Amino acid sequence: MRREDEYRQLADNARRRGGEEQSAQLKAQWELLAATYVQLAGQSKKIDDTGTYHDPLDRARH
C-alpha cells in the first residue's frame, strides 16, 4: 500500500472514531486528526509525483 493510501485510511478511521464519540470536544479532535492525515496524504502524493523522497517515518531505519 502506498503511503498516500495509508494516510487516507488513517483519516477514515479517525473520522469513524470521531463519529462514535459523545463528547463534542473529542469529536472535534478526531476531525482535526483526520484533516491532518488528509494533508499528509496530499504531501505524500506530491513526493511520489516529483520523485523526491524523505520519509521521517521510514520503517527500514527503525
pLDDT 10s digit of each residue in the chain, 62 long?
788 999 999 999 999 999 999 999 999 999 999 999 999 999 887 776 666 566 666 666 54
Question: pLDDT at position 3, please?
Answer: 86
- The pLDDT assigned to 51 comes to 62
pLDDT of residue 2: 84
Note the pLDDT of residue 1: 76
Domain interval for residue 17: 3-50
- CA angle at residue 42 from 41 to 43, to 5 degrees? 90
Domains of the chain: total: 1
57 in a domain, yes or no? no
Strand, coil or helix: what is 8? helix
Q: How far apart are CA 16 and CA 53, in angstroms?
A: 30
Give domain status of residue 59, yes or no: no
Q: Has residue 19 been placed in a domain?
A: yes
Question: Quick check: is 18 in a domain?
Answer: yes
Could you tell me if 17 and 50 are in contact, meaning their C-beta atoms sit under 8 angstroms apart?
no
Question: Does 62 reside within a domain?
Answer: no
Q: Does the predicted model carry a pTM greater than 0.85?
A: no
